[in-house]
Structure 1
Amino acid sequence: MAVILGLTAAGCADDPGLQTASARPEVPAPPAAAVTTAVPPAAPAPASPNSPPLPGPLATAIRPAATSPDPAPPASNRQADYKPPFPDRKDLFVPPKRQGGVRLSDGETEDSVVLLGFVRVNEPLAVLSVNGEVASIAEGAAQYGIEVISIQPPSVVLQRGRQRWQASLEN
């Protein structure tokens, strides 16, 4: 390749418009800068981690790593013993069943009646829990054998058969 360029340059030397590679002005190269890399002298490593610190700026970089004790062996993959808080319940998200009412002397059971609150939808209603069943009962109406005689919040007068009593939210 250099031979072809040399022959081409020699044959074209007669044409003043053509410049050859040798006719170009040469740009002087910048002087080479003296680049030296200084390597710090190696400092002796301390014999033990408890030895005094090394002198100089690299004292912290040369300090040996502290030896750590071996990590604890992994625990075995056995399942932890678990005791449920309520072993008698099968489903913890279902409230426990309430016991039936008190057994009377003639064999009948007394229903559990709890006043839960009051609602006003067109007329005042008493919200009762009768044996765990929630019902809203209007004044003068009966449901689950419980009749609401009067509603005067925060209390209500209830009747079952010939028995009357007053239930209140305050007690």
Structure 2
Amino acid sequence: MTTPGHEPAHANQVSRWIARIEIILAGLSGVAMAAIMVIVTIDVVLRYAFAAPLSWSYEMIGLYLVGAVLFFGLSDTMHQHGHIALDIFVPLVPMRLLHAVQGAGFAAGTVLVGLIAWLEAQETWLAFIRDDRLATIIPWPTWIAHAILVLGVTVLTLRCAYLSAFHCLSAATGRVQVELPPPPVTAASQTRGDE
């Protein structure tokens, strides 16, 4: 998620538009995380102090909130360059080749996550029209959990498509048209920064 004073620069208006959606979803991810902590705390207190645990907490957390924390944060994490990246050879690769490879990789990612979003959207619709529910004390509808995944992965698809297109444009023009990750932090760079 974005930390104050460390927002990534936007290369263009397309990135800025996607980032607005990502910020909203990242905020909802944070709200879901806070809700998990509050519900678990209340459940523990009720369970051990009053022998009356919440009967619905496990299903609500597992079905809705964990999914919101994970899927609503995916695209913003990509935008912040927070996913694991093996960047040891990046400085050795010519700039145009680097952007071409990145463009191809993000194109493959776009197809993959787009397919996931499309298939899950079909599952969402089926769960909605069939009124699928959990067989628990509270019959939670399952389509909401599917919709959370669809929304998060759809925005990730947009981010991947953007990165693919603008890395390819950077490769073609020889000018950087897309946000790049910051250089890796090494022991040497930390030492220089402390001086």
Higher relative contact order (CA 8 A, sep 6+): 2
Structure with the largest fraction of strand: 1
Same fold by TM-score greater than 0.5? no
TM-score (norm 2): 0.18
- TM-score where L is the length of structure 1: 0.20
Bigger Rg over Cα: 1
